[in-house]
Amino acid sequence: MDSSQTAGRAGRYAPSPTGDLHIGNLRTALLAWLFARSTSRRFLMRMEDLDDRVQPESADRQLTDLESLGLDWDGEVIYQSDRRDRYNAVVEELASAGYTFECYCSRREIHAAASAPHAAPGAYPGTCRDLTASQREEKLRSGRSPAVRLRSRVAEYTVDDALHGQFTGVVDDFVLRRGDGTPAYNLAVVVDDSASGIDQVVRGDDLLTSAPRQSYLASLLGLPIPHYAHVPLVLGPHRKRLAKRDGAITMSELHMSPHALVGLLGRSLNLTDRDRATPADLLESFSLERLQRHPWVFHPRKR
């Protein structure tokens, strides 16, 4: 277990600094803050900056937008890029326990195998799971750097979610460390949540299927499994996930005051009927029972 693990209860918001936050990101951040503060938890901020698409300057802009919205957080911002040694140590810990194997498959090969008849939808097909020593040597001679995958001993895992109830999802041999040495999301998030004492994870419901994998990994590492709340997404006018041409408008592009924007987000969540509000205003009326459970279709010109 991570020696830096802290006591106490906390929620968090953990954006990836690959650009400015759009209205869907801001709504999820607001919800994460409301869930944490309404349950007397600390609220932490973490930058998931391991992605090769990261734009270093966007982290500061994201933090500025969140502060402008009226959100606050406890302690210093955590940057995953500062914690690579810890992630690698956990991978070695799992390897020593026989829970990993090297995978030499390309994305194209994985997609082709996973699309074959009888393959579990979205699951790694196990191509490299049981390679012989000579087969591994042959793969290495090809010059391809292997990823490290978890050798899962279950096919599925069940988690409890505040909005979705019990959810059972696929647990395959997912990647722990990519071929280029980058720690994978499913590993880093589990390690970081435990290290920070985070016991409440509020995020978009597009990540619900990740929860069984992450919870299973936490159980293998002897770490506590957090309380989950996967919240509805914001959709664009064509009822698709937000994209630049379909509603993915940033705070600066909205041309709204922070109080007007919080009011808009609060109304979309069924937490207020006011045009202007602050996060503290929404906190007074926040409850899980009142929360809107369906995606919010955002029309930029119909506010």
Give the pLDDT confidence of 24-57 residue by residue, as tens digits: 999 999 999 999 999 999 999 999 999 889 998 9
Q: Which of 23, 19, 66 is nearest to 248 (CA)?
A: 23
Q: Which residues are annotated as a binding site?
A: 12-16, 48, 103, 105, 124, 128, 185, 203, 244
Confidence bin at 140 (pLDDT 50/70/90): confident
- Kindly state the tokens that stand for 212: 């069984």
Question: What is the per-residue pLDDT for 1?
Answer: 34
What SS3 state is found at 29?
Answer: helix
Q: Looking at the predicted structure, is the pLDDT value of residue 255 above 50?
A: yes
Q: Which residues are annotated as a binding site for Zn(2+)?
A: 103, 105, 124, 128
Dist CA 134 CA 275 (whole Å): 67
Q: Residue 297 to residues 7, 114, 259: CA-CA distances in angstroms?
A: 39, 33, 20
Phi–psi pair at 170, nearest 5 degrees: -65, 140
What SS3 state is found at 268?
Answer: helix
10-23: pLDDT as tens digits: 999 999 999 999 99
Q: Which residues are annotated as a binding site for ATP?
A: 244
Q: Which of 295, 278, 188, 292 is nearest to 238 (CA)?
A: 295
Give the mean pLDDT of the chain: 91
Question: What is the per-residue pLDDT for 120?
Answer: 63
Confidence bin at 241 (pLDDT 50/70/90): confident
Question: What is the per-residue pLDDT for 121?
Answer: 63
1-297 has which fold? Rossmann fold (3.40.50)
Q: Residue 209 to residues 28, 63, 270, 301: CA-CA distances in angstroms?
A: 17, 27, 26, 33
Look at the block and give the residue holding tokens 């194997």.
Answer: 101
Q: Which residues are annotated as a binding site for L-glutamate?
A: 12-16, 48, 185, 203
Question: What is the per-residue pLDDT for 3?
Answer: 36
Contact 73, 44 (CB under 8 A): yes
Question: What is the per-residue pLDDT for 116?
Answer: 59
Question: What is the per-residue pLDDT for 203?
Answer: 98
> How many CA atoms does the CB half-sphere of 84 hold within 13 Å?
11
In this structure, the strands spanning 200-204 and 227-231 are parallel
Name the more confident of 218 and 106: 218
What's the average model confidence in pLDDT over 145-170? 97
